[in-house]
Chain A
Amino acid sequence: MPSSRSVTVTVRFLARYAELAGQDTVTVTAPIPATVDSVLVRLREVHPSASRLPSKPLCARNFRQVLGAESVADGDEIALLPPMSGG
């Protein structure tokens, strides 16, 4: 339940991770203080399909690559990125 004691973020699965998760985005609510890592923990609790993703995926917060300890704010978009293969 969203409240002033929690943040609600969009988690976006890209490329192969969207195949593994069976969807492109989900909404996750995590208690404050929230980090990328704590959002991933909540993600796995609430969305069992996410358990198929690697335990430490590359992550972006609002379109910038970040580490798991990065703080997360209400309304953020957290993206889970497979190893890149452009070019």
Chain B
Amino acid sequence: MPFLTEQDLSIDDLAALVAAPDRGAIVSFVGTVRDHHAGRSVLRLEYSAYPEMAEMECEAVVLEAQRRWSVAVALRHRTGQLVVGDAAVAVVVAAAHRDVAFDACRFVIDEVKRRVPIWKKEFYADGSVAWVDPTASGGTVPSERPDA
């Protein structure tokens, strides 16, 4: 099952993939589209990816978590057009007990943000468009193709 999807994310569907009788804890994280960024009003987002590498990196992150802790991990990331409130990324971790489930869930979302090649383009209420760039001053760089 691919990690990237253009379909709506469902925590219930992901939890069903990792739930088991010997796993008494299920921890989930959902990242949703925020209506503001650096003082600007955000209307919608577009996520683009380097799909082949993003799939490989997502798989590597999941396998690393499952090697490091005794957990089962389900991960999905949206691509394409999203509006405020939509779920952009979902991580669901099941384990025998809660401590490792929380630790592994935090690890997975942090690693996804750090190393999976996915990019966020923000469309603002004032009509401007920018790429999110954590290394840029102000956190964004204006898009050269705001209509694309």
Contacts and interface: CB of A to CB of B under 8 A. Distances in A.
Contacts of A79: 50, 53, 117
A63 B55 CA distance: 10
Interface of A: 12, 14-16, 19-20, 60, 63-65, 79, 81-87
Nearest to B134: A83
Interface in B48-67: 48-50, 52-54, 56
Interface of B: 31, 47-50, 52-54, 56, 77, 88-89, 109, 112-121, 131-136, 141, 143-145, 148
Interface of B is mostly: mixed
B133 A82 contact: yes
A13 to B, nearest CB: 10
Nearest to B60: A64
B50 A85 contact: no
